[in-house]
Amino acid sequence: MNQRIAIIGAGPAGLAAAAEALRLGMKAALFERGRVGEGIRCAEGFFDPLRLLAPPEAGIRFKVQSLYFRAKKEYEFSTQGLRLWIIDRAQWQQHRAKRLRQGGVEIREGEAISRQNYPLLREEFDWVIDASGVPPVTSLVYGFRDYYLPHSLVTAQYVLSGDFTHLANSIKVGFSPDYRGYFWIFPKSETRASVGLAFLAEEYGPRDLDRLWTCLHREMAAEALAEAKIIERSGGLCPAKMLPRLVWDNVILVGDAAGLTSPLHGGGIDMALLSGREAVRAIARGGVEGYRKGLEKLFKPRLVLEKELVRLWSASSFEEVEGVLAGVHSLLKGKGIGPLLPLSRHLLPKAYLFFRCWQALQGGLASGR
Ligand SMILES: Cc1cc2nc3c(=O)[nH]c(=O)nc-3n(C[C@H](O)[C@H](O)[C@H](O)COP(=O)(O)OP(=O)(O)OC[C@H]3O[C@@H](n4cnc5c(N)ncnc54)[C@H](O)[C@@H]3O)c2cc1C
């Protein structure tokens, strides 16, 4: 246990790695280029589909009660049973960092790891955990930076000031015939929300990145948000395919750096937390070569389901998406299969899979452990 670990990045993955090192009595130093909680690009939905995480210890804005899906019409799905919160990530991360400091973890803010000081870090510490997001420092050094874009959902997002009272304790997700992807409104309060749009990864269909912001503005207009005041503009990549190689000499990739976000929606806080933890456990048991296999096993139940869903979704027309939403909504409301009957035979399996997926989420997806 006397291994010394350097962690690059104080996002969810880096903080989780540091917490696990502390728990196991290992010596860890965390290097963050800015200040903890600064510059976060996220809609701040904390979703734990595998039920392997404790609820956020701080910064909870609300537990999500309903998810509104919009295609042609709008459908309210109850999120009862789902472990889904909207959080204030800066507050949550700062709280975690404070607890780590109290436990003796050295957190060095304002210390960016660059190509220049990276070799030194690798020499000084037994292990380096790269949790620097996407693209990670390691990809610049080892030359795999280009891996990420084609395997990522690409997103555009604003924080808007406006009236979001109609979405109290709820979030909204929308679809359009114009692109393969989805649009979201995740309120932070009655008067503020993250409003964004994601195109699916390239493997699920063509995408034109220049159109991303145009599509977002079109959706904002459809939601009567064209005049809303823009507080912040962000967006970026959500890498959704685990890298074939996660260990580079004595460096281990975790979180976004490892390509760990959902291929279905791009959310990655949960996988960042779990991979940060798993990387440290692998070091502690001297089994780093089994780290990737361990993650595959851990995430398999959700990734298999999500990849199948996204494959079916990307092969569906807008009308088919509408039909599936209408049918599943009716089933979940206990109103029978009426809306499903006009669906063509090849659509029924999609509706069934979505229905099972929703039920599984409400009951909890079993993890590979
Ligand atoms: C627009 C958008 C919306 C999203 N919404 C959601 C959502 O609602 N729910 C969800 O679960 N996920 C969401 N995600 C994905 C989520 O943000 C990431 O999966 C998650 O933040 C990954 O955590 P991480 O710790 O791996 O990386 P990050 O959160 O990116 O943290 C990396 C840290 O490393 C630091 N760093 C970077 N380079 C260096 C360096 N050279 N030296 C030192 N420090 C460095 C950064 O400052 C940062 O603190 C969203 C992503 C985007 C782009």
Structural domains of the chain sorted by starting position, each given as residue range(s) with its CATH number in brackets: 4-44+88-144+243-299 (3.50.50.60), 154-239 (3.30.9.10), 307-363 (no CATH)
CA distances (Å), origin 222, targets 175, 176, 323, 325: 11, 11, 21, 19
**Phi-psi map region of 16: left, alpha, beta (phi>0 left; psi -120 to 50 alpha):** alpha
124-160 pLDDT, tens digit each: 999 999 999 999 999 999 999 999 999 999 999 999 9
The two structure tokens encoding residue 87 = 């959080």
62-116 pLDDT, tens digit each: 999 999 999 999 999 999 999 999 999 999 999 999 999 999 999 999 999 999 9
Q: Which residues pair with 6 in a beta bridge?
A: 29, 128
Quickly tell me which residue has 């590979």 as its tokens: 368
Q: Determine which residue's CA is closest to atom 34 belonging to ligand 1.
A: 9
Question: Which SS3 state, helix, strand or coil, does residue 74 take?
Answer: strand
- For residue 118, the model assigns a pLDDT of 98
pLDDT, the chain, mean: 94
Judge whether 260 and 275 are in contact, CB under 8 Å: yes
Q: Which atom of ligand 1 is the closest one to the Cα of 257?
A: 26
Q: Determine which residue's CA is closest to atom 2 belonging to ligand 1.
A: 42
> Alpha-carbon distance 353 to 103, whole Å?
45
CA of 95 to the centre of ligand 1 (A): 17
Rounded (10°) angle between helices 348-363 and 291-314: 140
Read out DSSP for 103-170?
A: HT-EEEET----TTTHHHHHHHSSEEEE---SS-HHHHHHT-GGGTGGGEEEEEEEEEES--GGGTTE
Whether 294 lines ligand 1, by a CB cut-off of 6 Å, is: no
- For residue 364, the model assigns a pLDDT of 62
Whether 239 lines ligand 1, by a CB cut-off of 6 Å, is: no
Read out DSSP for 292-337?
A: HHHHHHHHHHHHHHHHHHHHHHHTS-HHHHHHHHHHHHHHHTT--S
User: For the chain, what percent of residues have pLDDT higher than 90?
Assistant: 81
Q: Which atom of ligand 1 is the closest one to the Cα of 155?
A: 1
Q: Determine which residue's CA is closest to atom 51 belonging to ligand 1.
A: 42
Of 115, 96, 123, 116, nearest in space to 30 by CA: 96
Whether 61 lines ligand 1, by a CB cut-off of 6 Å, is: no
Of 120, 129, 247, 146, nearest in space to 202 by CA: 146
CA quadruple 266, 220, 185, 192: dihedral sign:
positive
Q: Which of 8, 15, 42, 148 best tests ligand 1's pocket when mutated (most atoms within 8 Å of CB)?
A: 42
In this model, does residue 368 exceed pLDDT 50? no
Whether 323 lines ligand 1, by a CB cut-off of 6 Å, is: no
> Alpha-carbon distance 107 to 295, whole Å?
26
Contacts of 210 (CB under 8 A, 6+ apart): none
Whether 196 lines ligand 1, by a CB cut-off of 6 Å, is: yes
> Alpha-carbon distance 273 to 261, whole Å?
11
Whole-prediction pTM value? Answer: 0.96
